[in-house]
Structures are given as structure tokens and as C-alpha cells.
Amino acid sequence: MPTSLVTGGAGFLGSHLCEALLERGHQVICLDNLVVSSLENIEHLRAEAFTFLNHDVIDPISVEEPVDFVYHLAALASPIDYLRMPLHSLKTGSYGTHHTLGLAKVKRARFLLTSTSEVYGDPQVHPQPETYWGHVNPIGPRGVYDEAKRYAEALTMAYHSQQGVDTGIVRIFNTYGSRMRPNDGRAIPTFMRQALDGKPVTVFGDGSQTRSFCYVDDLIRGLVLLAESEEHLPVNLGNPDEKTLLELAETIIRISGSSSEIIFEALPVDDPQVRQPDITRAKQLLGWQPEVELEDGLRKTIASLGHGTAVSAP
């Protein structure tokens, strides 16, 4: 039975990953400080093969048992969180990545860093391939997250090249699904909360900026495939089906059966205008591509909320 340690394991993506690994027969150690996550996400995982550690990755990590895989998901990924805790965001990307890489080195484990499409910043290349170095403002408000992840990638490659650690890097594009926090400030949970409550749906700018949304089940499948591969260079995982935020808001209002109107507010500083992954490498290396269509995934997500608003038929 392989053992996997998942940092940020009680969060949105982390809890789904823990669940998937248990289903694959892994012993799972879930490590989380519960600052932006919840024990409710992992209550159903309480089993002999599952262990929870309340721990912050910015502090050294000590695990007695052997570990085969280290999945480093811990991060303050929501703008609301990293703007509220900028230093903690930077420390999670730096100290946290250093400590988890050190653990992987000691345990001779395969290490997977979950990086982000935010390393591309407000891109001048579209769609974004892994060879693109990005267009990031290091001193802007988003820099505490973007640069934390860019540093984490550099540290991961240094541990691979100089320390011989078996590492991989995934750059995750916008992902959605059950267990997202309704007030985390990102587009899909915000639009859903507003639409299901019958309140105006808030779109920043004119809504022409684009994003690509991947359903969580597709993303987790890709994470496991990459962790179990021998690839060391970054790999994009995301859905290349690009949508404007206005289109997304209109779709959520329609399928939720809401009568909400759309209102527009000022665009945040350094907000990317476009975002679309080039997933050529994921297809070639992993045989991976997303399978869940946006509307199907949105319906599943709304259904998981248990809200009284009816979801319209396809």
C-alpha cells in the first residue's frame, strides 16, 4: 500500500485528492492548518488508511512512517485570502515548499508541486504553453501569490537538479466543483451564491476577460497521472474551452433558474485579461484531457450545494 502525504488536504482540491488516493488503495496523510479549509471536507474520509495532521507547512514537517508521494497543495489560492494574509502566502510558497521538498528528499518520495496558471500573470501569449515565462507584476497586489508560486517552481527544480529529488510541477488553471467555499471571492462560487440567493451577479470590468474552467474530477485525475509519471518539467492542467466571465455569469443564472440581474464593477488591479491553457504536453505525456463539459460540471456543483433553487434541465 503506497503512502501519500497531501498538504492542504482539507481544502477544496486537497479533499478531492485525498478521496481519490484512498480509492486507489493509498494510505493518506492529510496535512492542513485549517486556516482556509475545513474538517467538514474530510469528515467522510475518516478511515484506518486516513490520518489527519493539524500542521502549518511554514513550520518543519516530521512524519515517522515511510512516504511514497508528497502532493504539495497548501496555498492561499483565493484573492480574498492572499490579500488578507500576504506574508503567509509568501511563506507558504517559500518555507512550505522548502519543508515539503525536504520531507520528500528524506523519504525518497515522488514530489508534486501544484503551481498555478497565475505564474503566467496577465499573459501576452495566448493560449499559454509551459514554455511561456509569463508577464507578472512582482510588486502588485497579486504578486504575493504569483511570485510565491514562481519561487516554489524554481525551488522545486533546484531540489531536482542539485539534490536528486524526484519532482513534478503542475500548473493548475481555474478549477471548480463541490466543496468550494461560497465566499472565497473566485468567479464560480461567487456567481453561484449570488444567483441562488436571487441577488445581483457582480461581474468585474465589462466581463470580456476570459477564463477556462476545469471540473474538479478531471483535474484530480490529471494530478494523479502526473504524480505517477516520470515527468519533471511543468505541465498545464486545465480546460482549454475559453469563456468570458460575462458568458459564465449568464450561464450560471440560466441553469440555476435564477432571476438575478448582472451588474458591473471596477476591474481589480492586474486582473488577467485572458486565460487559456495549452494542454498539448498533458495530452502527449499523460494521455489526459478534460471530459466534463462546463454546463454539466456547473449543474453538478449547484446540486452539491443542496440549495432550494431548481436547476433547469439541459
pLDDT on residue 313 = 28
Query: Residue 269's pLDDT band (boundaries 50, 70, 90)?
Result: confident
Domain assignment present for 312 = no
**Do 207 and 130 share a structural domain?**
no
* Structural domain boundaries, residue 251: 177-211+241-275+292-305
**Do 105 and 251 share a structural domain?**
no
**What percent of the chain has a predicted confidence (pLDDT) above 90?**
92
Mean pLDDT of all residues in 232-246:
96
Say which of 145, 159, 176, 215 is annotated catalytic.
145
Give how far Cα 216 sits from Cα of 106, 179, 199, Å: 31, 10, 26
pLDDT on residue 102 = 98
**Do 73 and 11 share a structural domain?**
yes
CATH number at residue 65: 3.40.50.720
Q: With 80 as the cut, is the pLDDT of residue 77 above it?
A: yes
Domain assignment present for 75 = yes
Query: Residue 183's pLDDT band (boundaries 50, 70, 90)?
Result: confident
pLDDT on residue 271 = 83
pLDDT on residue 75 = 97
CATH number at residue 253: 3.90.25.10
- Number of domains the chain is built from: 2
pLDDT on residue 309 = 36
Active site residue 176: no
Mean pLDDT of all residues in 139-145:
96
**Do 165 and 53 share a structural domain?**
yes
Domain assignment present for 142 = yes
pLDDT on residue 38 = 95
**Do 245 and 148 share a structural domain?**
no
**Do 136 and 17 share a structural domain?**
yes
Contacts of 266 (CB under 8 A, 6+ apart): 204, 205
Domain assignment present for 314 = no
pLDDT on residue 240 = 96
